[in-house]
């Protein structure tokens, strides 16, 4: 599947819980930007990765570190409890 191809909403929602766990395990290694997270996940389009990262940020599972990079992406890390 092409990285920017549209997927049916039902398929994207089905993957959400699985990808939540994969994003968390990816960020346990080191803080990453959204493009780096997308690269670690593989075939998922960036707009879906943005959606999942935003949801994790909203529920205070992730937090951004510092200022955005030169492309405008923040680096995210797991929030310490």
Domain span holding position 14: 10-78
Residue 63, pLDDT score: 95
Residue 5, pLDDT score: 60
CATH number of the domain that residue 39 is part of: 1.10.10.10
Burial 36-69 (b: 16+ CB within 10 A, else e): bbbeebeebbeebbeebbeebeeeebbeeeeeee
- pLDDT, one tens digit per residue, over 12-68 is 777 777 889 999 999 999 999 999 999 999 888 888 899 899 999 999 999 999 899
The number of distinct structural domains making up the chain is: 1
56 belongs to a structural domain: yes
Confidence at 3, pLDDT banded by 50, 70, 90 = very low
Q: Residue 4 pLDDT > 90, yes or no?
A: no
pTM here? Answer: 0.81
- In sequence order, what are the residues at sequence separation of 6 or more whose Cβ sits closer than 8 angstroms to the Cβ of residue 3? 38, 43, 44, 45, 46
5 belongs to a structural domain: no
């Amino acid at each position: 599947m092409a990285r920017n191809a549209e997927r049916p909403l039902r398929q994207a929602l089905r993957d959400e819980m699985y990808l939540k766990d994969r994003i968390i395990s990816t960020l346990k290694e080191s803080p990453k930007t959204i493009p780096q997270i997308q690269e670690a996940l593989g075939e998922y389009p960036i707009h879906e990765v943005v959606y999942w990262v935003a949801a994790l940020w909203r529920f205070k599972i992730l937090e951004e570190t510092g200022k955005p990079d030169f492309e405008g992406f923040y680096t995210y890390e797991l929030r310490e409890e």
